[in-house]
Amino acid sequence: MIPERQREAISAAKQHGVSNGRKPALTAERAPATDRTLAPVASSAGISYETVQLLATTT
């Protein structure tokens, strides 16, 4: 459970446009051209194959 003060702080941060949580490992802007296979993309970005695969299926 989130304590009441923490819940209020999160709500205030959201109102100011602050995002909560971990930053994405690879964004669509950083992703290379889609004509490459996923394994080289993952190794060049320094992330797992599964992360690249997840991004490729959601975009």
The domain ranges of the chain are: 22-59
Q: 17-56 pLDDT, tens per residue? A: 887 777 776 666 666 655 567 788 788 778 888 888 887 7
Spell out a b/e string for 15-47, using b for 16 or more CB atoms within 10 Å of the CB, else e: eeeeeeeeeeebeeeeeeeeeeeeeebbeebee
Q: Which residue has the higher pLDDT, 2 or 3?
A: 3
Q: How much is the pLDDT for 20?
A: 75
Q: How much is the pLDDT for 56?
A: 76
Q: What is the mean pLDDT of residues 2-24?
A: 85
pTM of the full predicted structure? 0.43
Gap between the Cα atoms of 1 and 11, Å rounded: 15
Gap between the Cα atoms of 25 and 30, Å rounded: 10
Gap between the Cα atoms of 33 and 39, Å rounded: 13
